[in-house]
Structures are given as C-alpha cells and as structure tokens.
Amino acid sequence: MLNKILKETFGYKDFRLSQKEIIDAALSGKDVLGIMPTGGGKSLCYQVPALALPGLTIVVSPLISLMQDQVLTLKDLGVAAEYLNSSLPIAQRRDIEEKLVNKELKILYVAPEGLLNSSFLNTLKNIEVSLVAIDEAHCVSQWGHEFRPQYTKLPQLRQHINNCSWMALTATADKKTQQDICKQLELKQPKLFVSGFDRPNIKYMIYDKKNEIKQLDEFIKNNHENQTGIVYCLSRKKVERITDQLQGLGYNAVSYHAGLPAKLRAENQHRFTYEENIIVVATIAFGMGIDRPDVRFVAHLDMPKSIESYYQETGRAGRDGAPADAWMVYGLSDIVRLASMLEMTEASEAYKKIARQKLDAMLGLCEALKCRRQVLLEYFNENYPEPCGYCDVCTEPQETWDATEDVQKLLSTIYRTGQRFGPTHIIDVLRGSRNEKLVNLGHDSLSVHGIGKEYSKSQWNAILRQVLVKGLIRIKDWEFNILSLTEDCRSVLTGKTKVYLKPFKKNQKVIKKSKKTFDTDIDQELFEKLRVLRKSIADEYKVPPYIVFNDKTLQDMCYIKPENKDQMLLVHGVGESKWEKYGELFLKEIHQ
C-alpha cells in the first residue's frame, strides 16, 4: 500500500534513506525522531502515513511560507490539506475549521503558537488524530541553532488528543541536540533514525575574502548564469548593498531581511517563489523551510556562526538532487564580528561556551586542508572514508609551505605586546605601522616592530586564522578579541616543531563544476522548451513553476523521452495526479 501511495500520489518509485523505516515505525504507533539531510525527503515521512492512516495528521511547522508551499504542492497532488496560522482572514479560518469538524482533511499544518489556543483545542475534541509531526524539530532544543520557546509547550497537546504516534524531524542535530529534542517533546521510548548528513550533489567551496562582489560575480557568471540562488550576508545593511551591486551588474536580485517593510518582504518572498532565474540576497531571516527544489547555488559572503547553520543554509541548494554549489568567502573580520556579537548577547555563560566551540569548529572547516565533505561529516560523527573528489580542496589541491619562521614572528609579537591586543594591532606592529595608538604605547620601538612588512594585512590575516585553528594562539577575551599564546606554541618558538600552512592565493580561481560526478548530458534544447511550457502552465494555474514539475523531473523527461502514458509514469516525480493534470501537454511537447 505504501509503495502505491508513493508512486500514484507523489510519482516516486522508491523510498529514500530511512523514509520507509520511519513510516513503518509511525504506522505501528511508535514515537520517532528522524534526522535526515536537507532535501532528503523529510516531508514524505509524514505525508505518506497521513494518507495511509484513517484520521488526521497534524504537522507543526515554524514558518508560514513553508506551510503555504507544502499545502500548495499537496493540493496540486489531490491531497486534502490546509494550514492554520495568524496570516489567515477569520472567514477562511472558519472554513478550514468546518472542514476539520466534517473530517474532510487528511493533513493540517499548524504554527506552534496557535496549536494550544482554546478554540483550536475545542475543534479537535471530536476529531481522530492519527499522527502528530513536528517539522524543524531542532527549534525545540535549547542547544539547537534556531531555538524557539513555543515548541517547548507542545507536549501539552497530548492531554487533548487520543493516543497517537509523534514524529520529530530535522536535518541538523548532534547527539546532545537529539537527546534534548526527545526530552523537550517528551517522546515515549522514541525510535531514532539517522539517515546521514551527506548531500552528494552539493559541491562545497570556501575561499579567502578579497573583493567579495567581484568574486561573487565571477562565480555566478562562470557557473550559474540565469539560474536561481541565495546569497547570505550577516547584516541587513550589507544585504541591501550587495543587492544594489548585483542589480547594477544586471542580475535579477531582491533583498530579504527582518527590517524590510512587511509588504516588501512578502513581495520579495513571492517573487522568489514564482520567478525563475532570481537571486535573493538575505540574512538568515530567510530560508528555514524553503521548499524550492531548483536553487542551484547558495553563496555566503560572511562566515556562519556554526557548522549547523552552514549545513542548514547550504542545504537549501539542490533539493531536487541535481548538481548545486555551496560557495563562500570569509575573512578574519567575520570571526571577530561573530565573536563580538556573541559576547554582547545576554545568553548564559554555558550557552556562550558552546557557541564559542561551534564557532571554532566552523573556522576549522574553513581552514581545512583536507576534503571539506570529510570535515563536515566528521563534525556530525559520520565517517566518510575517502576524499569526495568534488569539493574545492579535492578539485584544487594545494601544496602547503613551511611557515614556521613567519608563525614565530606572529607569536613573538603577541608575546612582546603583552598578550593584551587583538589581531588588528598585532598585524600593525608586524607591518611596521606608526599609527597614533601604536606610537603612544611605545610599540614602534619593540624589536618585533616591522619584522613582517613583506606581507599585506590580508596575508597576515590568513596566517593568523590558521594559527588560531592549530591551537597555537587563542582568543583570551572574546569581547575585545584579545589574543594570547597557548602552551602548544612553545615548541614552535623553540624551533622543535615546524608549522605548514595553506599558500596565499593572489588571484582566486573559480573552477567550473566537474562533470565526472554527475551526468548532465541531456538534450538542452528540449529541456528549455519544457521549461517554457512549465512556466506557461504555472502562470495559468497561478502556482510556482516547480509545483508543476521540478527541474529533475524535466531532466528525466529529456533522458527517457516518453511516448505514452506508461512511459511518462516512469519519469521521476510523475504520478497519476500529475499525469491527469499535465501529462498530455508534456507528451505533445516532447513529441514535437
């Protein structure tokens, strides 16, 4: 029965990763915690059992945009689904509640804030609830990177509904976060399924920040011209600046951040949903729950605060399984800014300590000399035995250089200045600056003054970052980013231990994605014609193009070139409902 639902409703031949095991556990009445990579098909884990079970499935979702996307998709597939949240007019809300009472719905999406209000709970009294699914479950955890207090009240729902299975799903949760999710949601002897964190279709690339807009422009032109992408920046001001610069370069770019007027923010979200070949420049306010499958790249112009955040944000690329890029430029200033922002928060010292460790791990990924995918997966306790051959470290191998003498200069300067200053001052001393602060402190007369003038500020920044990762120095005071030496540096200063670092890159080389890993040799002329047809159908039905068919489905049509219904149903993502709506139109286009 499950395979029939999977194929006829959703158009897929086989379950992926742990989908089948998670669904079987839920159908047997067990509580479940499922950890699956972004784009790994988490939504099917509750959508398939919702159609197999007799009653209602409630899905707790944190974002209005996610609810809207998923309900739109389900309705297009012929599934009775609705959502309830604060954005709905009263009349529409009453219509949905009437459908609930009349048992006309199979799936209902609800925001955590609205789940426990008395009106909703009264409506649920006479309704059989077969499954409760909590999407983006890391939001419940005090250690999760998107902590949301409303999620902690969800267990109260158990007092108002019959005894049914609870399912918690997320893409990013280390062991501590997994334990906290189970505790906060009061899951009963939950079955844990960890499907792995690897996204093999994503190419990870991380470079030193030189001229960020020039680097971004080169990256997009060389790899993703006329494609959809997301560019993340740390501040609202930078989002607007980068948007203006991209528009000036001829890109179809829009801004998204929490400070925009609500109307403009909604308009830009709508454009991202419905337009093709669009770039959204955003803070992290944009993204969680993004369901668009054809995002071909995610670019970061500032370093994220943790590997969890990086994984979550880059995971919004290539959800359709086709090749996609996760590209980032970063600098020492990113680390300083993130550390300062952390110290200015009113969070507890215990939280800050963990946040600092996460920031250190993120820096370690950026400065890694081995396969990015291996470092990323090791962080999530997953073994990846061989280099992936697909990230920048693998495709652009670097020879290390003996930097022992220069590292000794850096360490000596930190020591001679009393271990009381941050990176900017230390580099000024090394380069022989005679600025007012340095002269007033008498640091222009130190023996280390000017011993590193052969390197630029950015080159010393690159050395300092790597020395920080190697644990030879540490940030003693995170509020003022004061550097100090560690015990490990002693053997370097005495010459017993040599230090090898990554070389400086004078010109950032952008490598086009390898075609060895993914076969993209399809009939491009046909693919473009199918895209045009898809857009015209989407406009007619007033839905986003990917709701009709995603890029992977169109590519599969180009491979198979179906000639009849039976062959069309072999295409990835084409089930009976999609065939009835759109099948003949696409067959005709392929035939022509």
Tens of pLDDT along the chain (592 residues)? Answer: 898 898 888 888 888 888 999 999 999 999 999 998 877 788 999 999 999 999 999 999 877 777 888 898 899 899 999 998 877 888 998 899 889 889 999 999 998 877 888 888 888 888 889 999 998 888 887 666 556 677 778 888 888 887 889 999 988 777 888 888 899 888 999 999 988 788 899 999 999 898 999 999 999 999 999 899 999 999 999 999 999 999 999 999 999 998 999 899 889 988 998 888 999 999 986 765 567 888 999 999 999 999 988 998 998 899 888 899 999 999 888 888 888 888 777 778 888 888 888 888 999 899 888 899 999 999 988 888 899 999 999 988 777 889 999 999 999 999 999 999 999 999 999 999 999 999 999 999 999 999 999 999 989 988 998 898 888 998 887 667 889 999 999 999 998 999 988 876 433 333 333 333 444 567 889 999 999 999 999 999 888 898 899 888 998 899 889 999 989 988 888 988 899 999 999 999 999 8
Q: How far is CA 389 from the centre of its chain?
A: 22
Write down the pLDDT at residue 514: 39
Q: Name the region of 138 (left: φ>0; alpha: ψ -120 to 50; beta: rest).
A: alpha
Q: Please give the pLDDT value at position 518.
A: 46
Q: Which amino acid is at 101?
A: V
Tokens of 551: 């890029």
Domains, the chain, with CATH or none: 2-194 (3.40.50.300), 202-330 (3.40.50.300), 401-501 (1.10.10.10), 524-591 (1.10.150.80)
pLDDT tens column, 410-451? 999 999 999 999 999 999 999 999 999 999 999 999 999 999
pLDDT tens digits, 244-274: 999 999 999 999 998 999 899 889 988 998 8
How high is the pLDDT of residue 515?
35
Secondary-structure breakdown of the chain: helix, strand, coil percentages, each rounded to the nearest 5: 45, 15, 40
User: Which pLDDT belongs to residue 346?
Assistant: 79
pLDDT (0 to 100) of residue 80: 94
Q: What are the residues whose beta carbons fall under 8 Å from the beta carbon of 98, sequence distance 6 or more?
A: none
- Is residue 70 a contact partner of residue 109, using CB atoms and an 8 Å limit? yes
**Which of helix, strand or coil describes residue 210?**
coil
Element (H, E) at 168: strand 165-170
| β-bridge pairing 32-35 and 165-170 | parallel
pLDDT given for residue 146 in this prediction:
59
Strand order in the sheet with 279-282: 202-208, 324-330, 297-300, 229-232, 279-282, 253-256
Q: What is the pLDDT of residue 434?
A: 93
For residue 469, what is the enclosing H or E element?
Answer: helix 457-469
Q: Which residue has the tokens 């919702």?
A: 50
CA nearest 366: which of 287, 298, 305, 457? 305
Q: Note whether 319 and 291 are within 8 A (CB).
A: yes
- CB-based contacts of 376, cutoff 8 Å, min separation 6: 197, 204, 307, 311, 365
Residues in Cβ contact with 466 at an 8 Å cutoff, skipping those fewer than 6 apart: 367, 501, 502
pLDDT at 285: 67
> What local confidence, expressed as pLDDT, does residue 398 receive?
73
